[in-house]
Amino acid sequence: MSAAEEVVTEAPAVEAVPKRAMTLGLGTSLVVLAALVLAPLFVKNFIIFQMTMLLIYGLAVLALNILTGGSGQFSLGQSAFYAVGAYTSAILMEHAGMNYALTLPIAGVICFAFGFLFGQPALRLSGVYLALATFALATAMPQLLKLHFVEHWTGGVQGLVVTKPDAPFGLPMSQDMWLYYFTLAITIGIYVASVNLLRSRSGRAFMAIRDNEIAASAMGVDVALYKTLAFGVSAAITGVAGGLGAIAVQFVAPDGYTIVLSISLFLGMVVGGVGWLPGSIVGSAFIIFVPNIAESISKGLSGAVFGVLLFLVIFLVPHGARQVALIAQQILGKLKKN
């Protein structure tokens, strides 16, 4: 390729991930699943709560991963979708007295519509321009939630308190544990659906758009439709995560959904490996636990410690956990041969 051509052809924002490398193998999946199912039986309630949050943020990172890793669009507005999901669940539960489990699909549908509509004007923007647009959405959301005419529903600055559900059918479980298994079931469901989505015709369309938009449209992919669809799906999953988050934390307030949340989710995606779905949980663990570790190393310098740890990760493994998994796989393969 000549130099001049290299400049006019925009490099894709996300490098291509081979389809088979997007998931874990069956054996590894089962081990991870078993660990996730058995772990809460041996730990305290607070840790179970943290594990629930791990799954919830994992879902939100997964949603961003579908958008960025799948369709190559970059979003800093995920906190806005998360907030809409959380408020939908909270308002339906507290004002309409609805069952918590029923509020989640509604949150998903509302967020899908919201994301799909937001995807319309975003169609013309890409790269940094799209980042700025989604960023605007994220900065506006906490302010919009505080506005006077929605205050009756959202509780304004005070926010809303959400009741934590008991385990159904008289199961002998603590509330935390029930919520963990409930979240786990939803997470597994959405994860499997996402894997299948990316392997389907639509998923291939996403990836074609990510790799080369013009070539994709030349092959007959409806670029506008699939780009907005990716936004919608991503927003829907983020919304469900937001709803679960509201139930787990038992509280929603505007300042819980600022741009900081969007940035955290973005960092989670990078650390987990862009385009590698299992990495979402690793990334989620990074954004939940590393700030705590940084705080415990030095209170005054926690931001700096977090920054240094983040630099270490991206220096050592620029492709995130995906790279680690790949290396582990190669080592295992060699061991098997010997």
Partner 1 sequence: MELFTNQVLAGIATGAIYACMALAVVMIYQAIDHLNFAQGEMAMFSTFISWQLMQWGVPYWWAFLITLVISFAGGILIERLLFKPLAKAPVLTNVAGFIALYGIINSVAGLIWDFTIKQYPTPFGSSPFLGSQLISTHQAGMIGVTILLLVALYLFFQFTRIGLAMRAAAALPESARLVGINTSWMIALGWGMASAIGAIAGILIAPVVFLEPNMMLGVLLYGFAAAVLGGLTSPLGAVVGGFLVGIFENLAGTYIPGVGNELKLPIALALIITVLVFKPAGLLGRPIVKRV
Task: Give residues in contact with partner 1 (CB under 8 A).
Answer: 3-11, 13-15, 68, 74, 121, 124-125, 128-129, 131-133, 135-136, 139-140, 143, 146-147, 212-215, 218, 263, 266-267, 269-271, 274, 300-308, 310-311, 314-315, 318-320
Toward partner 1, which CB reaches closer, 32 or 301?
301
Smallest distance from partner 1 to CB 164, Å: 32
C-alpha–C-alpha distance, residues 333 and 83, integer Å: 44
Nearer to partner 1, 185 or 260 (CB): 260
Identity of the residue, 30 or 308, whose beta carbon is nearer to partner 1 in the bound complex: 308
Q: Closest distance between partner 1 and the C-beta of residue 266, in Å?
A: 7
94 contacts 72 by C-beta, under 8 angstroms? no
In b/e form, how buried is each residue of 179-204, taking b as 16+ CB within 10 angstroms?
A: bbbbbbebbeebbeebbebbeeebbe
- Least distance in Å: CB of 69 to partner 1? 9
Minimum CB–partner distance for residue 51 and partner 1 (Å)? 25
| Nearest residue (CB) to partner 1, 60 versus 184 | 60
88 vs 262 by CB, closer to partner 1:
262
C-alpha span between 166 and 169 (Å, rounded): 9
- Determine phi and psi for 226, rounding to 5 degrees: -70, -30
Q: How far is the CB of 274 from partner 1 (least distance, A)?
A: 6
Phi, psi dihedrals of residue 282, rounded to the nearest 5°: -60, -45
